[in-house]
Amino acid sequence: KPEPWTDLSFHKCPGCPLPDMLRTCPAALSLQTTLSKLRSRKSFEKVKATATDSLGRSQTVEWPLQAVGSTLVQLAVFATDCPVGRRLKPYLAGLPPFVSSLDLSRQIATMILKKHGGSLEASRQELAASLAPLHDVFAHLTRRFRSDEKNKTEAGAEGIAMLGRDAVPNAITQVDAFAQLLALRANTLFSQISTELGWEAGGKPAARPAATPLAAVEF
Burial of 86 per CB tally in 10 Å (0-12, 13-18, 19+): middle
pLDDT band at residue 112 under the 50/70/90 scheme:
very high
Query: For the whole model, what pTM was predicted?
Result: 0.82
- Torsion angle of alpha carbons 161, 163, 169, 170, nearest 10°? -100
Q: Please give the Cα distance from 189 to 178 (Å, whole number).
A: 14
pLDDT tens digits along 55-89: 788 999 999 999 999 999 999 999 999 999 999 99
Q: What is the DSSP letter of 19?
A: -
Burial of 136 per CB tally in 10 Å (0-12, 13-18, 19+): middle
pLDDT tens digits along 138-171: 999 999 988 877 766 555 445 444 444 688 889 9
What value, to the nearest 5°, has the Cα angle with vertex 17 and ends 16 and 18? Answer: 95
